Amino acid sequence: MGTTASDAIVLLAHGARDPDWARPFEAIKARIESRLPHARVALAFLELMPPPLDVAVEALVEDGARTVHVVPVFMAQGGHVKRDVPLILDALRARHPDVTIVLTPAAGEAESVTAAIADWVTGLVRVPPA
């Protein structure tokens, strides 16, 4: 995904009651911002935490975004990503027909993500040979 100055990225997570739960997503956001300093990056949540997806996208559009990449930071394409998110994005597209809103696959479905998790687990847990 190449980005330009008119691009924005929304990292979409589920949300939780405990504010500490968002720390890994904030760290991901900070890493992206350091690698793509010209792109605007926002966090959004489906439940329990602000901002909700529609509010985050609206703020980016008001700030001049012409393409918004919505990246579900989920392990798989479950009900939220398959059903709920497309409905929200369809409503946003109707309000902003001049803005391109792209829904990417869930992050956990990327081979590089599953490989990184497997590498981390195998480095963390030492299992003796049988």
What's the CATH code of the domain at 53?
3.40.50.1400
Q: Is 14 a catalytic residue?
A: yes
Cα separations in angstroms, 57 against 35, 108, 122? 21, 22, 38
Q: Which of 32, 30, 55 is nearest to 44 (CA)?
A: 55
Amino acid 4: pLDDT: 55
Q: Is residue 129, in this structure, part of any structural domain at all? A: no
Annotated catalytic residue, options 14, 38, 80, 96:
14
CA atoms within 13 A on the CB side of 124: 6
Q: Is residue 2, in this structure, part of any structural domain at all? A: no
Q: Is residue 56, in this structure, part of any structural domain at all? A: yes
User: What is the extent of the structural domain holding 56?
Assistant: 7-124
Q: Is residue 34, in this structure, part of any structural domain at all? A: yes
Amino acid 108: pLDDT: 92
Q: Which of 72, 70, 93 is nearest to 81 (CA)?
A: 72
> 53 with 44: CB under 8 angstroms?
yes
Total number of domains in the chain: 1
Q: Which residue positions in the chain have pLDDT lower than 50?
A: none
